[in-house]
Amino acid sequence: MKILVVHGPNLNLLGTREPDVYGRTTLQDINQQIMELSGELGLDTVIFQSNSEGAIVDALQNTPCDALIINPAAYTHTSVAIRDAIAAVGRPAIEVHISNIHKREEFRKTSYMAGVVTGQISGLGMEGYLLALRACRKILGR
């Protein structure tokens, strides 16, 4: 089973960016935990990060996978293009947010992705990615 994990804009700054909101865990730390759990679960996982909407759409369309985990970050609230790409590829998808988007500014409470993803995990920090990996494995039935 191949899983694509997509990190959106500014997540490359984790650990130093707004630590009161996102904590001190770096993207490298998150990716290491993702790869370790992927190995334990027997998943082949590819990780991609970009600050560019078009690059994220390209990754969604061009990376073969059985399921998708995506933290679209700020694009959650603005990107019809990423939403449409998730819908177009037709794979199970889990939307992940480190912070609880529903407890933040009003504009962050709307997710353009919510209507096309299998599920959403919000507010559990790095653990959200690990829960999403476990969910993908279960959804794919292995």
Catalytic residues: 22, 97
**Terminal-to-terminal C-alpha distance of the chain:** 8
Closest to 59 in 3D by CA, of 38, 82, 75: 82
If you count them, how many residues does the chain have? 142
Closest to 60 in 3D by CA, of 90, 99, 27, 30: 90
Rounded to 5°, angle at Cα 21 from 50 and 51: 10
